[in-house]
Amino acid sequence: MSPGEFTLEATDGDARAGRLATAHGEVETPVFMPVGTRATVKAVDPRELEALGAQIILGNTYHLHFRPGADAIAELGGLHRFMGWDRPILTDSGGFQVFSLAETRRIDADGVTFRSVYDGSEARFTPELAMAVQADLGSDIAMAFDECAPAGAPHSDLESAVERTSRWAERCLAAPRPDGQLRFGIVQGGTDGDLRARSAGHLTSLPFDGYAIGGLSVGEERELMFGVTAGTAALLPAARPRYFMGIGDPEGILRVIGAGIDMFDCVLPTRLGRTGSATTWEGRLNLRNARFARDDRPLQEGCECPACTRFSRAYIRHLVTQDELLGLRLLTLHNLSFLVELCREARRAIIEHRFAGFSAAALERLGSGTAQRTPGSGAGEVQ
């Protein structure tokens, strides 16, 4: 397969199992992408990610543009070589970060002017700059520069964001790109079905290699988010990969897979690890809780991650409460492994045409635990 080819291997209802070819290898879907905003998945060595089964990770144009600079990364051989990761990388365009700076940004037809979060200096992003930075980074998948409106934005603001995203998408496609780099467009429109349809209609008329659903998981009501996701996915070409930007809890992943989504990312598993929590079938475990002080069980029975195969809940709690870095690293590895394995199992279930039963059983299992249901975080958000 050459870069850009996407093969659907099986469908089960709306759920899909596919294979996407990139310049750095094939990606089996559905797939969770760990977030490496600043050219690192926090606390994890790239070899550890490979051992967990991570196939593709995400980097961020906004942050890498400012530190250390895309020109420096290009001079040092590109993002893959720079961070020691030779599997596929998707880069977010930086749009989410730029449009989250509401107090300092000014939008015009050409781009966005804002203040850098690093030193407060004035900076500017345009579709052409976003694509040039991603070209210098050498990512396998580059995202188009879009406008992400906040949850609850007035209809007029959502409509303006859709129109601007469409115009900018055309400019992103017209920008030079390195050989083998794929480009994905981003559907906007908030929770408005008509605006989503308008956005999807225009973007799918353009020759993107894949399509993302953006502007969700930013604070809207959760069931509404799932409904909009399903409705938007149905508007996207079956022969192209579909990417939901920013979801990383087990329930959310299962729900968007069931809606026909192939790819997703989120900072949640690494953030939970650094705050002392583990994702399990019992729910989210806060390892600072005294009830784990003499608990000799692994975080999750049957899990083959480095934390569960060697250490007890009691030991990891000890590390966390004593601010030992190993504890946070082990929790991060476990949380990532849990989601990677969940996607593997979902893929098998789709191929074997038993996804509905698998998903229902998994959701019931999660619901019977103590999980705190947390919406996903925006793609490429700082981990």
Q: So which residues are the catalytic ones?
A: 92, 265
Check if the beta carbon of residue 38 is closer than 8 Å to that of residue 64.
yes
DSSP states of 277-344: EEEETTEEEETTSGGGTT--S-SSTT--SHHHHH--HHHHHHHHHTT-HHHHHHHHHHHHHHHHHHHH
Task: Report how far residue 45's alpha carbon sits from residue 364's, in angstroms, rounded to the nearest whole number.
Answer: 34
Residue 252's H or E segment, with its range, is helix 250-258
Q: Which amino acid is at 159?
A: E
Q: CA 325 to CA 70: how far, in whole Å?
A: 30
210-213/182-187 β-pairing: parallel
Q: Is the separation of the CB atoms in 138 and 178 below 8 Å?
A: yes
Nearest by Cα to 71 from 116, 125, 135:
135
Q: Which of 49, 19, 18, 16 is nearest to 34 (CA)?
A: 49
Say which residues have a Cβ less than 8 Å from residue 144's Cβ, sequence separation at least 6.
93, 127, 130, 131, 165, 168, 169, 172, 173, 183, 184, 185, 186, 208
Rounded distance between C-alpha atoms, residue 308 and residue 285, angstroms = 14
